[in-house]
Each structure stands twice: as structure tokens, then as C-alpha cells.
Structure 1
Amino acid sequence: MDAMHLPKSWPVEQILDNLAQHGFAIIDQAYSPEYTGALVHECSTHLNEFRDAAIQNGVVSNIRSDHILWIDQQLKVAQQHIQALNALSQHLNQAFFLGIKEAEAHFACYNAGEFYALHRDNPQGKNGRMISTVYYLHEAWENDWGGELRLQDKNNQWHIIHPEPNRIAIFQSDLLHEVLEAKHQRLSITAWLRTDQPLW
């Protein structure tokens, strides 16, 4: 993958059309097997550094039970994904005048029994998150393993997005969504395209 440009497999016009009509879009087979393998390896070798996402500033939330690791400059492989999202942001800004400046992202691990209850990433415009993305980087997934993304689109229709390997879900950050309980370890990168500086 060319780190400075969008992967050729990303259907930009279709992504823009789906976002305009429904508020979300899906990219399947997003990256090459070589890149995805390197990304899975980088994530897996840092699993012992993940922290409980439900604990924020010492306060425990009961709406989520996953574990996360924020992606910094030391995670070189994951940085390439962030660069691709930044390139996509240029197209989103041109099409929708969103004013996105940069992406923030973390690895996420949902072990069996873990979930993220209904929420919005940017409720009532309270932060700079404009577009949310989830990239599924586990190497295999079965439909009965749970962990689906349940999303209400901009027309108030509900959708179930299965966490297929090498799939990216892209959606407006103000849309209501949840991660259903996983029955098997589920790995992903969650990223937000922001109009302001990341908060972490």
C-alpha cells in the first residue's frame, strides 16, 4: 500500500454516495494480505498493553467492556491505516465540507462476553468527531461469533454489519450504534476523523 494515497481497492465515489444517502458505507477487501498480516501481527504483539476502555479518568462506565490501545507514532504499521484515512478525509472534505483536519485511532479488543452498548460518538455535536470508522483486522470470523456493529442510518433504518476480516465500516459520528456481545475475540481499529485536535 502506498502510505500517501488511498488504496486502489477503495471505491471513493461509492463511499461518498452511500454516506450521502445513508450516512454509512462499507469497504470490503480494504488492504493487501501482506499489509493485513503485518497489522494483525503488530496488534497481537501489543495485546498485553491494552487497557480497560470502561475506565476513563478513574471513572468506570457500564456501557462498554472492551480493551483498547491508542495508536501513536511507535505503531508504524497502524500508522499507514491512519494515513489512508487522512487521504480519504480529503475527499470527504471536498464532497461534504466537513473540515476534517486529522484522524485519531486505537486498537480495540473485544474478548468473549464483551460489548459496547448503544451510543453516539459525537452526541449533539459535542466534540470534533465527524466520521467514525471501524477496521476489522482479525484473520477469520464466523457469523455465530457475535461482535456485530448494529447501526441506525440517517434515515432511521437499522443495519447489522458483520465484522468480516479486512472490512472497514465508515459512518457519521452522530449516528446511534452499538457493538453486540462478542462470543470470540474480535480485533479492530476504531478511528475518528476530526475537525479538532484529538483529546487523548
Structure 2
Amino acid sequence: MMQIISNLEVTQLVVENPIGQDNPPLLFTHNGDDSQKPPTQHVLALSDFDVDWQNKLTDEQLDKFVDDGWMIIDGVFENKALLALQSESGFIDYRDAELTAGIRVSNIRGDQIRWITENFFAGFYYLQSINALGALFNRSLFAGIRHSEAHYACYPVGFGYQWHSDNPAGRDERVISAVFYLNDDWSDSDGGALEVVDKHGVHHTVMPVANRLVIFDSDLQHQVQIAHRQRYSIATWMRRDGLVPFVEDNI
């Protein structure tokens, strides 16, 4: 057993089977010819998810984020990390998402989800990168973020998520929300766009383009339009409360 410390230096996660030389996360690529030898095996490393957030985000972008409450970052990861997340998202036993009260109402929220734990190698590495982004927000914006959580999300054809904020009434644990998109070759006709109303009441529509990260104040109202094609993403929250370990049964 080992301790993995996040980049925020406040979050601890106990990993029963630590990632290392004897237990590497593996990514398989297909060369398109089934008659050839098995696909090449690639070892996935935390360094594949390194993002220089300090240089990727300018002071002007951060100032605008504070003013408007939202922003878009395109081209977040290198191809290997993106492919790993795309591959992992396609081989998950998704479960129906529920509303805060624990009720499934598909005409309000139709996504299927799976919370990211250390069992999902690519997703877990993604969270470490998000923690580094949270650390930047703490240094630059005094955001008070202590840890992050995320789940893979799949919107089947014909489903979306109606208007809501990520902090239920009377709650404020979630500081910043983020959505990372995984679908390649997404077009307007595929639907599934994110709509968000910024701090000035201006309405924005964002297409779920692969390798795009949309970041917004968790109190902002937003919705997901009906998807006309199966839509994959990672929903993410940077939180100010203490870490509550997520335990999922029947993995």
C-alpha cells in the first residue's frame, strides 16, 4: 500500500495496487490489419498528462475568467493522453446518473456516469493534472481549492441535462466546474452542446470538441443539449471542502 499525494499537497488517496513497473497502465493501439501481430503495447505514465498550466493560461485569460466566470482551453493534452482517455471512456460499465435527491429522472438528466477512482488509470492521471490546475487557481486567484473529483459521462442519443448549477441550493463546496470532451469529429448537427450563462447574464453555446476543457464557476447555470450522437466527456469539480473518499461498490 502506498500514499499518492496530489499536486495540491492536501489530498491523499490510498492505492491498494500502486502504479509502477510491475503494474503499469496499458494503452493498446490498433494498426488496422487484423492479420498482423497483436497491437503494440504502450505504457501510460503520469508525465503523459503533464500540462504547463502556468504558460497555457495568460494573466489576461485569468482576469477574464474572474470577470466572466468561464473560459475555454483547447488542445489541452498531447495525443497519447487524449487517446488513453478516449479508449478508457469506451470500455466502462456506466451507471445511470441520479439527481441530488438520489432519483433518476431521465427527461431532466439523461447521462450515464462512472466516478473516477484509481481503478481508471487514464482518468486518475487526468485528475492529477486537474489538481495542478487547481493549485494554479489557488496561487493566482486565492480560490481555496482543496481537491478535485470527476466522473466519466456518456450521453446516449436522445438525452441531455436540463438547466442547473453544480451547487445545490444552500451548498457551496464546489468552486470551479470543468468539462473535458472526448468525441472526435463532432459537428453542430450532432447536438450535445453545452450552454452556459456567464456572470453578466450572457448566454454562450460551446460544442463538445475533443481535447477541449470548458471551465466555469460552479454557481453558473448551464445545460447540455439533446445529443444526436453518443457523447463522451469527463465532468470535473474543484472543491473547497475536505476530501471525502469516494467508495464504489460492485466495481
TM-score, normalization: structure 2?
Answer: 0.73
Q: Distance in 2 between matches of 1:97 and 1:146?
A: 36
Of residues 211, 218, 225, the one that matches 1:173 is: 218
Distance in 1 of aligned mates of 2:202 and 2:232: 26
How far the C-alpha of 1:127 sits from its partner, in A, is 3.6
- Counterpart residue number, 1:96: 141
Relative to 1, partners in 2 of residues 1:168 and 1:125: Cα closer, same or farther, differing over 3 Å? farther
Q: Which residue of 1 aligns with 2:22?
A: none
Give aligned-pair identity as a percent: 36
SS of the equivalent of 2:82 reads: helix
Which residue in 2 is equivalent to 1:50?
A: 94
The answer to whether 1:32 aligns with 2:67 is no
Asked if structure 1 preserves the Cα contact closer than 8 Å seen for 2:153 and 2:232, the reply is: yes
> Match of 1:68, SS?
strand
Which residue number corresponds to residue 60 of structure 1?
104
- Residue of structure 2 aligned with 1:17, choices 50, 59, 63: 63
The answer to whether 1:152 aligns with 2:197 is yes
Which amino acid is 1:50 matched to?
A: Y
CA contact (8 A) 1:15 1:26 kept: no
Structure 1 residue 161 corresponds to structure 2 residue 214: no
Distance in 2 (CA, whole Å) between partners of 1:106 and 1:190 is: 5
Listed one character per residue, the Cα deviations across residues 129-164 of structure 1 (whole Å, up to 9, x for unaligned) are 000000001222111100000000011110001111
Q: Tell me, what secondary structure is at the counterpart of 2:138?
A: helix
Count of residues paired in the alignment: 198
Higher RCO structure (Cα 8 Å, ≥6 apart): 1
SS at match of 1:2: helix
Q: In structure 2, which of residues 149, 157, 171 is the aligned counterpart of residue 112 of structure 1?
A: 157
SS in 2 for 1:135: strand
| Higher-helix-fraction structure | 1
Distance 2:116 2:57 in 1: 26
Q: Distance in 2 between matches of 1:14 and 1:6?
A: 19
After superposition, what is the alpha-carbon deviation per residue over 1:97-145, rounded to whole angstroms, capped at 9, x for unaligned?
2210110000000111010000000145504100000000122211110
Q: State yes or no: 1:122 paired with 2:170.
A: no
Q: Which runs of 5+ in 2 are unaligned?
A: 1-45, 247-251
The answer (yes or no) to whether the contact 2:165–2:222 under 8 Å persists in 1 is: yes
Cα distance in 1 for residues equivalent to 2:48 and 2:155: 28
CA–CA separation in structure 1 for the residues paired with 2:101 and 2:169: 23
C-alpha distance in structure 1 between counterparts of 2:170 and 2:102, whole Å: 25
Let me know the Cα RMSD of the aligned residues.
2.1
Counterpart code for 2:80: E
Q: Distance in 1 between matches of 2:144 and 2:48?
A: 22
2:232 equivalent to 1:187: yes
Contact 1:28 1:167 in 2 (8 A): yes
How far apart are 1:15 and its partner, in Å?
4.1
Structure 1 gaps of 5+ residues are: none
What is the alpha-carbon distance in structure 2 between the residues aligned to residue 45 and residue 59 of structure 1? Answer: 25
Name which of structure 1's ranges 162-171 and 90-99 shifts more when overlaid on structure 2: 90-99
Structure 2 counterpart SS, 1:126: coil
Cα deviation, residue 6, structure 1: 2.8
After superposition, the Cα gap between the structure-2 partners of 1:17 and 1:68, relative to the gap in structure 1 and judged at 3 Å, is same
